[in-house]
Amino acid sequence: MNHDIVRHDKGPIMSSAVECNGMVFLAGLIADDTSKGVRAQTEQVLSKIDALLTACGTNKSRLLSAVIYLDDIRDKEEINKAWLSWMDPSHPPARACVQASLATPATLVEIMVVAAK
């Protein structure tokens, strides 16, 4: 039962991804360039998710769940456009989408996912 843990991109405060027992826990990810609008920020976040899932030896077809935090819930349709362009339509995760103020006032979206290896 004492499963090994592998941590990726260890920083002083958090890891970007943690593997354990065939599952992958990603950090809440935000865009690096917050001068962009919510759709472009979402695209940046989804690219980060792809890169981290790859580093963990998995990919978006194995997403289990996602929580999307939006600075303004009225942006939901905009982020859904980026989400629908990105997500594997045969393998959608469970998802929640709620409003929350984020790291900086310019940060419009943060996404935290769990995936299987």
Residue from the set 32, 50, 85, 96 that interacts with its own copies by CB under 8 A: 96
Is 106 a binding residue for its own copies by CB under 8 A? The answer is no
Return d(Cα 56, Cα 115) in angstroms, integer: 10
- Please report how close the Cβ of residue 82 comes to its own copies at its closest, in angstroms: 12
114: phi then psi, degrees, rounded to nearest 5: -120, 135
Return d(Cα 23, Cα 29) in angstroms, integer: 18
Alpha-helical (H) ranges within the chain are 38-55, 76-86
Residue from the set 32, 50, 54, 98 that interacts with its own copies by CB under 8 A: 98
Residue from the set 40, 51, 55, 114 that interacts with its own copies by CB under 8 A: 114
- Please report how close the Cβ of residue 31 comes to its own copies at its closest, in angstroms: 14
Site string for its own copies, 44-83 (x = CB under 8 A): ------------------x-xxxx-x---x--x---x--x
- Please report how close the Cβ of residue 50 comes to its own copies at its closest, in angstroms: 16
Which of these, 6, 13, 8, lies nearest to 49 by C-alpha position? 8
Say if residues 102 and 75 touch (Cβ distance below 8 Å): no
Is 6 a binding residue for its own copies by CB under 8 A? The answer is no
